[in-house]
Amino acid sequence: MAAHLRGLVRDLFLRALDVASATSALPSVEIAHQTANLRGLAARPGEKCGLVVATSNAGKLREIAAILDGVPARWLSLADFPELSLPAEGLDYAANARAKAEAAARQTGYCALADDSGLEVVALDGAPGPFSARYGGADKSNAERVQKLLEALRGVHAPARGARFVCVAALVTPAGEVFSTRGECTGHILTAPCGEGGFGYDPVFSPEGRTQSMAELSASEKNRISHRARAFRALLPELYAYLGDTKSGNSEGLHHTELVLIRHAESTWNAERRWQGHSDPPLSQRGRRQAAEVAERLAQESFAALVCSDLKRALETAELIGARLGLSPHLDSRLREIHLGAWSGLVRAEIEARWPEEHVRYRAGDEDVCPPGGESRRMLRARVEPALSELVRRHPHGRVAVVCHGGVIRVVCPELQPQNAEIVRVAFDEAAVVNGTWLLVNTDQNG
């Protein structure tokens, strides 16, 4: 069972690479494998495996632990190994992260995590980059480095103040296997520090689609969108595979539910490029063919349930899929598309012409933009998250097909732009949902 589940998780995640390459302009996630199998040290029955985070940065350690909350590990850091020495850092994020993780794993005998991250600013040709933690000198404080950055950008205006946080995370097992991932968060540099949270350059970095600095976001919001969160969550399949194999020789620690999120097939309004929202056009003929093709792709899998939005385009898609799977769809109105109000039925050019400012903010991902008579993305998330969380609780260790809409899928995977009849697979840790936090394990988008 352990080997089968490990292989399933890794196979699903490897296919997620297609998503990263298809959305290269968006915050990305990449993964590279050094070897094929996980081994590692076995824990005693009932004991959690040790996991070393190769950092002496207390803020970074807290952030990583929060991002990976729910991982069944005994957390260790450099403070637990005062004699441990790490190699000098160089010019490459990936090489730095790998070297630190390899040194920690080799010297401690435990599985090790490390990362290297930096801030890249357009006006500074990507600087400070890998030198972000040493910008202005290794002896400088965070506040001094922030001030040096602001001085370097004095008189610089948008879009040259554009920037991105980059993080490469590495996982190394005691046997020498290496796994690395990359995450990014794009935004811009503010003219003055704002907020007391976070650390490093957070007070002067405003993520794309937000009006606050990273330091003004709640910890949970930051850990949902940050470069470090994207990188470390992309390592979860390998962490679970390693930890699952080392828990008394079985995979009982892998309490996860797989939700197979399916965007409805093409509707008549999709064919006309009209924005739909809560409007209720039926499937087009092409859409019916797309739904039948999805049904065939899923026919060899076993599903505990089939759930769908109550809008016609989702219900018709679900009925065609259900006929092939032998399941009757259960309707849940909370899985409807975002309510677009007065924008429904219009094409993009019409919306741009009548509501230019709101449209720009909406396209930028602003969660608080509300079309006239409609709802904001924040309101959408407030109704979708409980619906999906209930499915996870109701079907532990099961697979559930969910036919819904692009906006609903982006509540779970904000970086995706799923097309009609595309499939996005997500696995959620049961304990994480109980704790009120979704633990996204992987995505798998098929076209």
93-125: pLDDT as tens digits: 999 999 999 999 999 888 999 999 999 999 999
User: Has residue 24 got a pLDDT over 80?
Assistant: no
pLDDT for 10 equals 39
User: Has residue 430 got a pLDDT over 70?
Assistant: no
Residues with Cβ within 8 Å of residue 8, at least 6 apart in sequence: none
Average pLDDT over residues 395-408: 89
Contact 345, 275 (CB under 8 A): yes
- Other C-beta atoms lying within 10 Å of the C-beta of residue 24: 8
Q: In Å, what is the CA distance from 64 to each residue of 68, 287, 333?
A: 6, 43, 36
Residue predicted with more confidence, 378 or 249: 378
User: Has residue 187 got a pLDDT over 60?
Assistant: yes
CA distance 381 to 387: 10
- Provide, rounded to the nearest whole percent, the portion of the chain with pLDDT above 90: 47
Q: Which tens digits make up the pLDDT trace of 167-186?
A: 999 999 888 889 998 888 99
pLDDT for 102 equals 95
pLDDT for 436 equals 40
DSSP letter at 216 equals G
User: Has residue 63 got a pLDDT over 90?
Assistant: no
Q: Which tens digits make up the pLDDT trace of 125-155?
A: 999 999 998 898 888 898 999 999 999 999 9
Q: Which DSSP helix (H) or strand (E) runs through 204?
A: none
Residue predicted with more confidence, 410 or 435: 410
User: Has residue 36 got a pLDDT over 90?
Assistant: no
User: Has residue 443 got a pLDDT over 80?
Assistant: no
Query: Lowest-confidence range among 329-333, 364-368, 437-441?
Result: 437-441
Residue predicted with more confidence, 233 or 216: 216
Q: Which residues pair with 117 in a beta bridge?
A: 167
Q: What angle do CA 335, 227, 447 make, to 5 degrees?
A: 45
Residue predicted with more confidence, 72 or 354: 354
Task: Please report the beta strands in 103-232, taking only residues with DSSP state E, as ranges in sequence order.
Answer: 111-121, 128-129, 162-172, 178-189, 205-207
Mean pLDDT of the chain, nearest integer: 81
pLDDT for 358 equals 94
- Choose the most confident range, by mean pLDDT, from 17-31, 46-60, 203-217, 332-346: 332-346
Residue predicted with more confidence, 248 or 219: 219
CA-closest candidate to residue 192, choices 232, 226, 149, 129? 149
pLDDT for 48 equals 56
List % helix, strand, coil for the chain (3-state, nearest 5).
Answer: 40, 20, 40
Average pLDDT over residues 359-368: 89
- Provide, rounded to the nearest whole percent, the portion of the chain with pLDDT above 70: 81
Average pLDDT over residues 294-308: 89
Contact 413, 388 (CB under 8 A): no
Residue predicted with more confidence, 126 or 72: 126
Residue predicted with more confidence, 205 or 8: 205
**Helix, strand or coil, per DSSP, at residue 304:** coil
pLDDT-based confidence at residue 420 (cuts at 50, 70, 90): very high
pLDDT-based confidence at residue 391 (cuts at 50, 70, 90): confident
User: Has residue 253 got a pLDDT over 80?
Assistant: no
CA distance 204 to 148: 12
Global confidence as pTM: 0.52
pLDDT-based confidence at residue 191 (cuts at 50, 70, 90): very high
Average pLDDT over residues 309-338: 94
Query: Lowest-confidence range among 26-40, 53-67, 260-274?
Result: 26-40
Residue predicted with more confidence, 93 or 9: 93
Pick the catalytic residue from 116, 202, 366, 429.
116
The reply to whether 116 belongs to the active site is yes
With b for 16 or more beta-carbon neighbours within 10 A and e for fewer, the 145-175 pattern comes to bbeebbebbeebeeeebebbbbbbbbbbbbe
Query: Lowest-confidence range among 6-10, 234-238, 241-245?
Result: 6-10
Average pLDDT over residues 343-356: 96
User: Has residue 379 got a pLDDT over 80?
Assistant: yes
Domains and CATH numbers, the chain: 2-115+166-187+205-245 (3.90.950.10), 256-446 (3.40.50.1240)
User: Has residue 425 got a pLDDT over 60?
Assistant: yes
What token pair was written down for 211? 């009006």
Query: Lowest-confidence range among 43-57, 246-260, 350-364?
Result: 246-260
